[in-house]
Amino acid sequence: MIKLNVWGGAGEHGRSAYLLSGDRFHILMDCGVKKEGAGEYPLIEPDIVSNLDAVLLSHAHEDHSVAIPLLYKMGYQGEVWTTRETREQLDTYFRAWSSNMERAGHGLPYEETDVQSIRYRYLENEAKAGIWFEVVSGINVLWGRSGHLAGSVWFALEMEGKRIFYSGDYTSESMLLQEDCAAEALRLASVFRSRERTGSRVNNPLLSQGMAASDGIQLTGGPLAEAAMATVSSGLSASLSPSLIKGRLNRPMDLAIVDAAYGTDRDTQTDKLAHLGHAIRRTIARGGKVLLPMPSVGRGQEIILWAHEQFQGVPMIVEQGLVDGMKQLMRVPYWLREKGDRLKSPLMDVIERFLGGKSWHLPQSREDRERLLNQHAASLWFIPDGMMQSSLARWYYNQLADREENLILLTGHAAVGTFAQKLIQNPAEYGVCEVQKIRYKVHQGWLDVEKMLQRVPARHTVLVHADKAETDRLREILVGNSPTPEVMIHSLSPGDELYV
């Protein structure tokens, strides 16, 4: 029997931390913070910490990563397994958290030396996406790209005879980022394994080299046949036919922890982009400016490239932080889609063309900003800080707030207490401009979760990353639609435990 302890992240947005305990092993998946007040940290059980066998980290966002130093402060001496790209991004998130807290007059529960103590291990060094490997003796792990952020992954785990799936933050609808379909990956991996076991396949170069060879399974996220063909062409197994793969169903998971951040929202990314496009066009038509505050890395780059294609001829201003985020994408081709669905050319070309182009403005100083604001009526303004806490975001807001034709367009999560959240709740208190929230999807909503339940079936599925009331509503709908009553769907809260 395996016990799941929710240290945070279920029934709330933030501080994701899921502990799996068996007779012999303790594994922690993610250890983040919640951006509220003095910062809320996971409900870590101190006695467990020094007995943890491994920590798996899905991606760099602070709600998954920033409480990891606390584990080291509490005596953890083991390793944190993640991707190289996530590791590259982490220092920025640790620094941002520390300075945010400092600015708000709060301390951190750990020191800089705890951050320095983290011992990273890189998933890619052990096995490419879609290949099982042993993370500690007795525990097998398989990972794949989750489409949420460069470096972000989902995990499958085998531990004491149980199989566990953790989606991390997941979307298959990113315009830029590639996702490895978990169902396809698991199916392919099980085919290789069963062939290995029966001895019918011994010339697989990866398996014979301890699964750490240079060429992994090419998971395209496309149709099954495509994935199989890519595998064939990579020389992994010339006799692996699509029909063989299709013929093998995945053994159900014992537990799946699934990103359901958007709760009962049924919209697809196409719906969201239609809403975004409509709101922008309406504002442009009345001669207004659109302010789009975004996190420096993530959906900002997707929306900038999309808007650049959609609103040609409309003046576009992009602040440095977001341009830097765009440049970062250039050095991580592995995490990008080869060709965007909604963008016409290969992504690297699109990004390169954007960065090299003269079709948008990059303000360098207060004077530049003021000049551009005076020069352009209808225009698009992409600025860093989706929660609008920074002085730059507040400055921009003040420049636009006194004109009704302007629109502040928020596209992501705004934590309680942030200016973005206050603005959404009570726009008239701060100015006369219009304020709208239209989500750009970087997580899963109702239909995505439903698809995941079908494709990665599990005896127990825990819905996470949304508040309790919304998770309850989604659970009720999914249970009502479920054709298999023996499948349990759970809406849990921090502090809860579940035996599987």
Chain residues binding Zn ion by CB under 5 A are: 61, 63, 169
In terms of CB distance, is 30 or 434 closer to Zn ion? Answer: 30
Instruction: Burial-class residue 278 by CB neighbours within 10 Å (0-12, 13-18, 19+).
Output: exposed
Two structure tokens written together for 480 = 């009502």
In terms of CB distance, is 290 or 466 closer to Zn ion? Answer: 466
CB of 67 to Zn ion, least distance (A): 13
* Beta-strand pair 17-21/26-29: antiparallel
CA distances from 85 to 332, 360, 493 (A): 8, 28, 31
CB of 83 to Zn ion, least distance (A): 14
Instruction: Burial-class residue 480 by CB neighbours within 10 Å (0-12, 13-18, 19+).
Output: exposed
CB of 361 to Zn ion, least distance (A): 30
CB of 168 to Zn ion, least distance (A): 8
Summarize the chain as % helix, strand, coil (round to 5): 35, 20, 40
Note whether 178 and 145 are within 8 A (CB): yes
CB of 148 to Zn ion, least distance (A): 5
In terms of CB distance, is 256 or 378 closer to Zn ion? Answer: 256
CB of 440 to Zn ion, least distance (A): 13
In terms of CB distance, is 192 or 446 closer to Zn ion? Answer: 446
In terms of CB distance, is 151 or 288 closer to Zn ion? Answer: 151
Note whether 289 and 377 are within 8 A (CB): yes
Instruction: Burial-class residue 296 by CB neighbours within 10 Å (0-12, 13-18, 19+).
Output: buried
Q: Minimal CB distance to Zn ion: which residue? A: 61
In terms of CB distance, is 132 or 166 closer to Zn ion? Answer: 166
* Beta-strand pair 54-56/79-82: parallel
**Alpha-carbon distance 472 to 1, whole Å?**
26
In terms of CB distance, is 168 or 340 closer to Zn ion? Answer: 168
CB of 147 to Zn ion, least distance (A): 11
**Alpha-carbon distance 239 to 245, whole Å?**
11
